[in-house]
């Protein structure tokens, strides 16, 4: 069951991404040749207002074909006949819709389970937070150069900066104080800790759900960016990356663990994973890598600055090379995922 949920979840997120391209292309008068749900052999298709809507056999992802890889024609609805800013909007529409989806799901999740405000519920004796004077009930407002909105940002910052001395600003009785903390190594857990623990989630009304929904999306975007920085700086290796196989494994494990607590817990767990995946997909697609939306945006912004189109054949070669490299990376990541499952 968990594997089926993983496939449907990932497909829904990809389809929403393609829906962003589709809706903005239509709004700009661009001809969309095909909008497909799934991949593989065709099961059903219907043409409506110049677009063929297709349902394909394999329920994996989807596609919006709008001629961005085709040669320019004199047609008014041709992708390349539109202004560079219209084309930028269409290409950016996919990642933007991923962030919108992440926000919608975050609002739903927070309305269900509440939000984790950055308040210290417990401060452990013998650890730097207590020694610096932080007390239960104090609110953490900044750690390092990062503003804190939810408690998980504290935990994640510490995870990405293990053992590093950091300035922490907290609020006590309406007054703000800044202290310098050096995490202490926990021998039992083999982890550097500040000694601050969170409490239960706070219930959220409508406006709080909207507010913390934004914080939730920001958290996952920042976490994805920080992870990419660590990968570039070789603080983590490619073998620690996960692809589709790894995602299916995580979703299945999460489903198995949460199913014993009831349907609402399963829904909340799947929403949390969907938020992560959607925000992650949005960030990854904005990377300036050929064949991704970010790579296409680079060419379009260069065109906007030069006020002259880059020869399509040159851009096509770059995207082809980028696609080949991405496929090679996917093979490596998939190999790592399968190896982890076997070991």
- Report the interhelical angle of 244-258 vs 2-27 (nearest 10°): 120
> Which one is catalytic: 18, 31, 216, 315?
18
Strands 122-123, 146-147: parallel, antiparallel or unpaired by DSSP? unpaired
Please write the tens of the pLDDT for every residue from 114-161: 999 999 999 999 999 999 999 999 999 999 989 999 999 999 999 888
Q: Report helix, strand or coil for 166.
A: strand
Exposed (0-12), middle (13-18) or buried (19+): which is 108, by Cβ within 10 Å? middle
Q: Provide the greatest CA pair distance for the chain.
A: 73
Please write the tens of the pLDDT for every residue from 185-238: 998 888 999 999 998 899 999 999 999 999 999 999 999 888 888 777 777 666
> Comparing C-alpha atoms, which of 283, 286, 256, 254 is closest to residue 271?
254
Question: In this predicted structure, what is the pLDDT of residue 26?
Answer: 94
Alpha helices for 28-83 (secondary structure H): none
76 is an active site residue = no
Question: In this predicted structure, what is the pLDDT of residue 3?
Answer: 76
Task: Give the number of C-alpha atoms closer than 13 A to the C-alpha of residue 184, restricted to the C-beta side.
Answer: 14
Q: Report helix, strand or coil for 175.
A: strand
């Amino acid at each position: 069951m968990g594997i089926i949920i993983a496939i449907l979840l990932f497909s829904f997120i990809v389809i929403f991404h393609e829906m962003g391209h589709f809706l903005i292309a239509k709004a700009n008068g661009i001809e969309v040749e095909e909008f497909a749900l799934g991949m593989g052999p065709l099961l059903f298709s219907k043409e409506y207002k110049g677009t063929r809507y297709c349902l394909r056999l394999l329920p994996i992802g989807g596609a919006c074909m709008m001629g961005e890889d085709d040669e320019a024609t004199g047609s008014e609805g041709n992708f390349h006949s539109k202004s560079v800013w219209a084309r930028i909007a269409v290409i950016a529409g996919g990642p933007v819709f991923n962030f919108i989806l992440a926000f919608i799901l975050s609002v739903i999740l927070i309305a269900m389970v509440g939000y984790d405000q950055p308040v210290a519920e417990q401060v452990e004796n013998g650890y730097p937070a207590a020694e610096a004077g932080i007390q239960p009930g104090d609110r953490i407002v900044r750690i390092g150069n990062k503003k804190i909105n939810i408690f998980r940002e504290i935990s994640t910052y510490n995870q990405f900066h293990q053992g590093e001395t950091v300035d922490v600003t907290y609020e006590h009785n309406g007054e703000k104080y800044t202290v310098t903390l050096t995490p202490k190594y926990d021998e039992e857990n083999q982890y550097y800790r500040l000694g601050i623990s969170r409490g239960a989630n706070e219930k959220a009304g409508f406006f709080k759900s909207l507010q913390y929904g934004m914080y939730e999306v920001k958290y996952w975007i920042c976490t994805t960016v920080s992870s990419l920085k660590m990968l570039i700086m070789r603080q983590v290796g490619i073998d620690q990356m996960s692809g589709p196989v790894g995602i299916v494994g995580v979703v299945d494990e999460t489903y198995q663990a949460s199913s014993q607590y009831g349907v609402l817990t399963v829904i909340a767990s799947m929403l949390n994973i969907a938020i992560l995946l959607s925000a992650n997909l949005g960030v990854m697609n904005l990377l300036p890598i050929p064949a991704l939306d970010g790579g296409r945006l680079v060419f379009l912004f260069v065109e906007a600055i030069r006020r002259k189109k880059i020869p399509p054949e040159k851009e096509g070669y770059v995207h082809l090379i980028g696609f080949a490299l991405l496929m090679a990376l996917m093979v490596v990541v998939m190999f790592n995922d399968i190896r982890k499952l076997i070991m």
